[in-house]
Amino acid sequence: MALSFQEAEGCALIWKFIDGVQQTYQSVMGAPDDGLSDDLAIDMPASIQLPPADIRTLHELEMTIRNLSQSPAGRDALAKTIMNEDYISKLIPLVDIAEDLESLQDLHRLCNIMKTILLLNDTAIIEHAVSDECVYGVVGALEYDPDFPSHKANHRQWLKNQGRYKEVVRIQDDQVRRKIHQTYRLQYLKDVVLARILDDPTFSVLNSLIFFNQVDIVQHLHNTPGFLKDLFAIFHDPNEQPLRKKEAVLFIQQCCAIAKNLQPPARQALYTHFLSQGLLPVINFGLRHLDVSVRVGATDILVSMIDHDPSLVRLTIYEQIQRHSLPLTDTLIDLLLVEVDLGIKSQISDALKVLLDPTPPGAPPQEAREFMVGQARLRAQQGIEPQQDLFLTHFYEHSARRLFKPLLDLEKRTEMKFSPLEDGIFSYLNDILCFYIRQHQHRSKFFVLTNNLAQRFVQLLACKEKHLQLVAIRFFRQLVVLQDEFYYKHMADQKVLGPILDVLLRTMPRDNLLCSACLELFMLINKENVKELIKHMVENYREKIMALSYMDTFNEILNRYDQTQGFTASVDPYFESEDELGRRPMHGNAVGLRGEQLAIDQAQEEYLNTSDDDEDENIATANRGMGVLNHSLATNGGSAASKPLVEYNSDDDEELDEEASNGLVEADTVMTPADTASRLSNGDSESDSAKENKAPSTPTTITSAAAAAAAAAAAAATVTPPERLAEKRRREEDEDDDALNKLTQHKRRNSSGSVGSVGSNKSTSSSNANTGSSPRKLKLAGYTADETRARGGGRSSRTASPNGTNNTALGQGQRHGHPKKIAISIAPSVKTAATTGGKGSQLGGQTQGQTTQAKAQTQAQTQADGGGGGGGGGGGEQ
Amino acid sequence: MSDLDRAIAQLRACRPIPEAEVRQLCHKARELLIEEGNVVTVNAPVTICGDIHGQFHDLMELFRVGGDVPDTNYLFMGDFVDRGFYSLESFLLLLCLKVRYPDRMTLIRGNHESRQITTVYGFYDECLRKYGSANVWRYCCDVFDYLALGAIVLGASNTLPSSSGQPAASPPADEVEIEVHNAHGHVISRFLRPKETKGDGTGGARTASPNGGLSNGVSSDSSSGSGSGSASSSAPANTGPPGSGASGSSGGSVGNPAGAVLCVHGGLSPLIDMVDKIRLLDRKQEVPHEGAMCDLLWSDPDEIDGWGLSPRGAGFLFGADIVKVFNHRNDLSLIARAHQLVMEGFKEMFDASIVTVWSAPNYCYRCGNVAALLELSEDESGLGVLARSNGEVNRSDGGVGPRGVLMENDLMGARSGPARRYRVFQAAPQDSRGMPAKKPVADYFL
């Protein structure tokens, strides 16, 4: 047992303990013997006595409970006592009594007591509270919130309304039915009753309870023989009431929503089961339904199924094609063109993209599809399933013209005036078309060419609505981004740039969105140095460009042309290299990677899991992170040497592989970098650093190691801003934690200060705290990434990756009902970050000779030991 | 238009408007916003507000403290949605007001005005609950894409107009640089412009004082500096920001007295060295994960030199030197931004060259912070307007001397930006708002 006098709670606890021992001695006669046993210290407060639940002693009770809930031990004891004595049930009658007495004060007290009890964050208590026996009493007490003395909520009324529960097919099992109700109550508790006061641990407890219940329920339905049969029979029965059919669709929709959280095999089984029972006809039925909510439901079902596994749906469509019946895609297309509901529209447009994504099966599922556009393109070249190929051929032969009909029809139009319904479709069509152009190389090329779509978009440029003009500009931008000579030539042939220049000249004095979009397009052409287009532009529209040449972009365009005299073949080495820099971001297309971390969901984990053959997500993350490295180097405009980066990429992988297989990246160490960091910097407990999270904008924590830290910082010539990663759901400050992880994976790479951490990359995951937490200065002036630096950057991508693991680990932790509050507070302040950085590099120097097989923990130990004089180490190392 | 007024009235009562009306509204808003540049030009007087985060009742309180809409010219710096329980009503009301009074209302985009963020932080769920489908969320997200990325305030005065709450024995208006008011319009504290003779040392100290002064001076009614008339008197009580002394050219050059004020949600970007570069972005897109547009919405100022990595994972941290160079190059006197919770409602940094304004009191219904508005008044002399330029160098000093010798020139003059009046307010009283809670799911099958 560790004694801590640092905090008032701790002191009070110890004092209580001593006091308790004394009392036991004094009343030796009456007290039971175990008062002196060894485990007394641990569950000392377990012997707490709560005042009897009585309306007269409520005040006392409230005080006791509040006091006990202040300390962790007290909370444990309180939770135990409440469950053991079934205290909640004793409190419930008091609510009625107090209501009868109209004693508002007592009701407020009861509310406070109940709040405290629920926020004890004990799974058993919460489950008990939503049980049939207790729930109305509990929410009844919570109706009288002292924070809103003049209000009374109507939770009981809401929950008692049994009509909210719709039972489409009778669920025989009582227990499951009860569970359904309880889940709903838990949700209500989370969203309404406790919404304002929920803390993070309780929130995650509620969430995990809900999650497990839902999984149980869906599994039960799935495994109950005949249940799904009965369910789908509703659709087959012609005499069935329309309302019941509607509800059945919504029921399936909810099932699918829950299924998203299931483990992949279970989900697969469920969907297969659904499909075998005839899910597709149901979707077909739903999509054509007059009621918009049914259509929404059906699209939802379809989308969640596509999200799960598009090949499943494709297979069915393929069969439909074989049978010469109307394929699902055509149904979707028809619906897209006539649908008024925007939500359905955009979901269908997404679905059409995914279904026609020629990704080979076995590749990552499509959840992250938005982000993987760049990679998908690479994959597309790896070869397409013959079946998928057939499907695509069929699509371009039959369906494509149907889909893009509104665009094609423009040809016959003379007047560019659209009804609101009409003009909404173009942006969707453009989105889809852009996606197809990226994904279906030659087919889409042929389609664009034969139908002369470029001219159609030029027509759009002429219409009055600015957002339609924007759509057209976006299309041409996409063509430029593709860097395809064919499209360049097409754009030149079709003379599309002239009308865009006209749009620009027309809007130029206004400085609006349209004008910015045009400028951006021309900047892109200039930056990419698309000689074909530049030549075309200058030769055909010289006056227009001259009129705009007061802007650098157009001036440069003119110069570029004049320098080469229109000889596109001439290769200027200077331009070439610049070209490369400019183009890399397009190829790397790493944009999405950062985004993936924005929403941490299971889908993403899966993606990570499946993208590599072993269980090590790190590689994937690091791998893909490299793209960002290139990108950010390039975009920062420095004269970064790009070659080494690519080399180190592979280099890195091997190391990683090795490490991973050696099991060096131990979950434990990874889980608590905060711990490590704080241990390294000073002896403070981690709770300290967690507390310090509160004020990110004013990092003034002066730790005991501050002096050493300053020295280290100076030595490493690195100014490190404070950085904290804390996994909290709702934090006091406006940090968006979802985005936090991205940081560790990407931006770090272009940091000049990583020199200091190069040494430390031989050390293992414990030093992640260093590299992970010492963000480097990104000074543009001194931004010449030499090889060393690039190396450092490359390596740090590895060190960053455990944070990815961290995520997954955390997510699973929550799912398995261990809602530990894991604060990944890597560095409590500037100073500590610098210190650890310095130490890390010093250590790296010392242990460079060691093999990478050294155990992480050993190293952590070494690091901690050798940390004392870490000041000067950082600088001398390189 | 009566439809719109009715919608405004309904939203003011915190009742959502029907989906069809939302669609119309978003349509109109789109037409309006597409005409706005990436950086909107706004003329003083203007009241600048920070994050709202769906705290509808506090938004009402904000309008109460700052004045109602057509009367006061408002500029909201993004983050209207998420976290609070009334994102929908808050955003729709602001949008309605924008459509109704386009010249009196400026909305710029915050990092939460994005599809990805809103799906995680509550706006999506809220729309789903309140309408039963995500359509309204989609309409709103479409509007988000059209929102401007920043604003430039021109013609802000260097003197504060007298206000009703001002005590009789107050220093001359032209000496006051910062005034902090409480919600009732009473002056809590007042900070004077430094005397010209003062050198560098007080620069950092003085500008740090509004916040320091506020935190311990809320109870004291009169300003700490009013007695002596010199800012140095308040200096000993507060130490300046640690970075300010070390950053080389000693704070002197920050803030051109006649410059404009740039408003942006997050901060600066390494890719943007001129305000005009912002105009070259194609903003109609989801907030990207990197690049200039992302940085503008995600970055934070920090006590560092140069650029640093942001712990948020998007955007950057930038130090005083960056702000200094940027402000000088673009002839700005001040950057106003939001994006970070500050317990005092506002926080000036780097010799008052950048200020964070936060307008969500008791953030997340439990942070216990106060909120603030920043009022910039109109220069009524008629001279200042001419002198201010919109990112154009060499015109704003009114022919006093060549711009290049910035050091000597600006050190002598008032270093600080326009006169600023902060109105600090607290969360709306609990009773006025009913219990904040999410709308429960109505029906359930499972």
B115 touches chain A (CB under 8 A): no
What is the pLDDT, as a whole number, of residue A134?
86
pLDDT, tens only, A772-786: 333 343 333 333 333
How many angstroms separate the CA atoms of B354 and B345, rounded? 14
Evaluate if residue A485 carries a pLDDT over 80: yes
Q: How many CB atoms lie within 10 A of CB A163?
A: 8
Evaluate if residue A363 carries a pLDDT over 80: no
The arithmetic mean of pLDDT across residues A692-709, rounded, is 41
- Please, which residues have CB within 8 angstroms of residue A78's CB and are 6 or more apart in sequence? A45, A48, A50, A65, A68, A69, A117, A120
What is the pLDDT, as a whole number, of residue A88?
86
pLDDT tier at B336 (50, 70, 90 boundaries)? very high
Q: Are A537 and A504 in contact (CB under 8 A)?
A: no
Would residue A153 be called left, alpha or beta, if left means φ above 0 and alpha means ψ between -120 and 50 degrees?
A: beta
Are residues A164 and B85, on separate chains, in Cβ contact within 8 Å? no
What is the pLDDT, as a whole number, of residue A240?
80
pLDDT, tens only, A414-427: 777 777 777 778 88
Query: Which residue has better confidence, A14 or B290?
Result: B290
B424 sits in which H/E element = strand B420-425
Question: Any idea which residue has 């969901």 for tokens?
Answer: A601
Are residues B138 and A738, on separate chains, in Cβ contact within 8 Å? no
Are residues A250 and B445, on separate chains, in Cβ contact within 8 Å? yes
Of A254, A514, A744, nearest to B445 by CB-CB distance is A254
Tell me the one-letter amino acid at B237.
A
Query: Which residue has better confidence, A71 or A574?
Result: A71
Range name among A680-684, B35-39, B65-69, B190-194 with the lowest pLDDT average: A680-684
Select from B422, B379, B346, B416 the least CA-distant residue to B43: B379
How many angstroms separate the CA atoms of B82 and A315, rounded? 40
Select from A825, A762, A850 the least CA-distant residue to A798: A762
Of A735, A780, A830, nearest to B312 by CB-CB distance is A735
Select from A700, A715, A710, A843 the least CA-distant residue to A771: A843
B326 touches chain A (CB under 8 A): no
Assigned token pair, A262: 């299931």
What is the 3-state secondary structure of A497-510? Answer: HHHHHHHHHHHHHH
Best mutation target, B149, B283, B344, B445, to test chain A (most A CBs within 10 A): B445
> Measured in whole angstroms, how far is the alpha carbon of residue A232 from the centre of its chain?
35
pLDDT, tens only, A114-150: 888 888 888 888 888 888 888 888 888 888 888 777 7
Q: How many CB atoms lie within 10 A of CB A816?
A: 11
Mean pLDDT (chain B, rounded): 77
Q: How far is A764 from chain B (nearest CA, A)?
A: 22
What is the pLDDT, as a whole number, of residue A96?
87
Q: Is A479 exposed, middle or buried (0-12, 13-18, 19+ CB in 10 A)?
A: buried
| Neighbour order of strands in the sheet with B176-181 | B105-107, B74-76, B46-49, B371-376, B420-425, B176-181, B187-192
The arithmetic mean of pLDDT across residues A227-245, rounded, is 84
DSSP string, B144-169: HHHSBSEEEEE-B-SSPPP-TT--SS
Q: How far is CA A182 from CA A123, A132, A205, B109, B322, in A?
A: 13, 8, 14, 41, 55
Q: Which long-range contacts link A573-582 to residues 24+ away (Cβ below 8 Å)? A: A575/A529, A578/A529, A579/A528, A579/A529, A580/A642, A581/A634, A581/A640, A581/A642, A582/A527, A582/A528, A582/A529, A582/A634
Instruction: Please name the residue of chain A whose CA is at the shortest distance from the CA of residue B364.
Output: A732
Alpha helices by DSSP H, A662-697: 667-671, 673-681, 686-691
Quick one: DSSP state of residue B51? B
Query: Which residue has better confidence, A611 or A285?
Result: A285
Alpha helices by DSSP H, B19-166: 19-34, 56-66, 87-100, 115-121, 123-131, 135-146
Evaluate if residue A806 carries a pLDDT over 70: no
DSSP string, A752-765: GGGHHHHGGGGS-G
Evaluate if residue A51 carries a pLDDT over 90: no
Q: Are A871 and A838 in contact (CB under 8 A)?
A: yes
Query: Which residue has better confidence, B24 or A845?
Result: B24
Are residues A516 and B120, on separate chains, in Cβ contact within 8 Å? no
Q: How far is CA A450 from CA A401, A455, A477, in A?
A: 11, 11, 20
Mean pLDDT (chain A, rounded): 66
What is the pLDDT, as a whole number, of residue B380?
67
pLDDT tier at B310 (50, 70, 90 boundaries)? very high
pLDDT, tens only, A630-688: 444 334 433 333 333 334 444 444 444 444 444 433 433 334 344 444 444 443 444 44
How many angstroms separate the CA atoms of B58 and B14, rounded? 12
Instruction: Please name the residue of chain B whose CA is at the shortest distance from the CA of residue A342.
Output: B135
Query: Which residue has better confidence, B226 or B365?
Result: B365
What is the pLDDT, as a whole number, of residue A384?
55
What is the pLDDT, as a whole number, of residue B171?
61
> Measured in whole angstroms, how far is the alpha carbon of residue A489 from the centre of its chain?
40
pLDDT tier at A6 (50, 70, 90 boundaries)? low
The arithmetic mean of pLDDT across residues A150-169, rounded, is 79
Q: How far is A778 from chain B (nearest CA, A)?
A: 5
The radius of gyration of chain B from alpha carbons, rounded to an integer in Å, stands at 21
Q: Are A830 and A703 in contact (CB under 8 A)?
A: no
Torsions phi, psi for B376 (to 5 deg) = -110, 130
pLDDT, tens only, A107-118: 888 888 888 888
pLDDT tier at A250 (50, 70, 90 boundaries)? confident
3-state helix, strand, coil in chain A (%, to 5): 70, 0, 30
Q: How far is CA A40 from CA A10, A388, B379, in A?
A: 16, 69, 74
DSSP string, A189-229: IIIIISTTT--HHHHHHHHHHHHHHHHHHHHHHHHSTTHHH
Q: How far is A427 from chain B (nearest CA, A)?
A: 11
Evaluate if residue A361 carries a pLDDT over 60: no
Instruction: Please name the residue of chain A whose CA is at the shortest distance from the CA of residue B340.
Output: A734
Q: How far is CA A112 from CA A51, A99, A634, in A?
A: 16, 15, 57
pLDDT tier at A596 (50, 70, 90 boundaries)? very low
Assigned token pair, B44: 């003083």
pLDDT tier at A730 (50, 70, 90 boundaries)? very low
What is the pLDDT, as a whole number, of residue A689?
41
Q: How far is CA A39 from CA A10, A75, A113, in A?
A: 18, 17, 29
Q: How many CB atoms lie within 10 A of CB B273?
A: 15
Evaluate if residue B290 carries a pLDDT over 50: yes
Task: Out of A568-582, A584-598, A767-781, B56-70, give the one with best mean pLDDT.
Answer: B56-70
Query: Which residue has better confidence, A752 or B95?
Result: B95
- Chain B environment of A697 (Cβ under 8 Å): 300, 302, 340-342, 347, 356
Are residues B300 and A343, on separate chains, in Cβ contact within 8 Å? no
Evaluate if residue A290 carries a pLDDT over 80: yes
What is the pLDDT, as a whole number, of residue B431?
56
> Measured in whole angstroms, how far is the alpha carbon of residue A716 from the centre of its chain?
34
Q: How far is CA A577 from CA A14, A522, A572, A649, B112, in A?
A: 70, 20, 9, 21, 38
Range name among A387-401, A760-774, B425-439 with the lowest pLDDT average: A760-774
Q: How far is CA A634 from CA A585, B159, B249, in A?
A: 7, 45, 31
Of B36, B116, B363, nearest to A513 by CB-CB distance is B36
Assigned token pair, B98: 């924008």
B15 touches chain A (CB under 8 A): no
Range name among A67-81, A759-773, B241-255 with the lowest pLDDT average: B241-255
Q: How far is A579 from chain B (nearest CA, A)?
A: 18
The arithmetic mean of pLDDT across residues A431-440, rounded, is 86
**Could you give the residue numbers annotated as active site of B?**
112
- Please, which residues have CB within 8 angstroms of residue B376's CB and are 6 or more apart in sequence? B44, B45, B46, B47, B48, B153, B156, B157, B261, B418, B419, B420
Q: Are A437 and A358 in contact (CB under 8 A)?
A: no
Instruction: Please name the residue of chain A whose CA is at the shortest distance from the CA of residue B137.
Output: A343
Select from B276, B280, B313, B282 the least CA-distant residue to B295: B313
Tell me the one-letter amino acid at B124.
Y
DSSP string, B403-417: TT-HHHHHHHS--S-
What is the pLDDT, as a whole number, of residue B63?
94
pLDDT tier at A864 (50, 70, 90 boundaries)? very low
What is the pLDDT, as a whole number, of residue A255?
87
- Chain A environment of B140 (Cβ under 8 Å): none
Percent of chain A with pLDDT over 70: 57
- Chain B environment of A343 (Cβ under 8 Å): 133-135, 138
What is the pLDDT, as a whole number, of residue B64?
92
Q: How far is A856 from chain B (nearest CA, A)?
A: 25
Are residues A748 and B309, on separate chains, in Cβ contact within 8 Å? yes
Task: Out of A390-394, A679-683, A738-742, give the one with best mean pLDDT.
Answer: A390-394
What is the pLDDT, as a whole number, of residue A807?
39
Q: Are A317 and A327 in contact (CB under 8 A)?
A: yes
> Measured in whole angstroms, how far is the alpha carbon of residue A56 from the centre of its chain?
50
- Chain B environment of A714 (Cβ under 8 Å): none
Alpha helices by DSSP H, A1-43: 8-26
Evaluate if residue A575 carries a pLDDT over 90: no
Beta-strand ranges (E) seen in B243-390 are: 260-264, 300-301, 307-309, 316-318, 332-337, 346-349, 354-357, 371-376
Q: Which long-range contacts link A286-289 to residues 24+ away (Cβ below 8 Å)? A: A286/A249, A287/A331, A287/A332, A287/A335, A288/A331, A288/A335, A289/A246, A289/A249
Are residues A631 and B307, on separate chains, in Cβ contact within 8 Å? no
250-279 of B, contacting A, C-beta below 8 A: 270-271, 279
pLDDT, tens only, A200-211: 788 888 888 988
The arithmetic mean of pLDDT across residues B384-391, rounded, is 43
pLDDT tier at A164 (50, 70, 90 boundaries)? confident
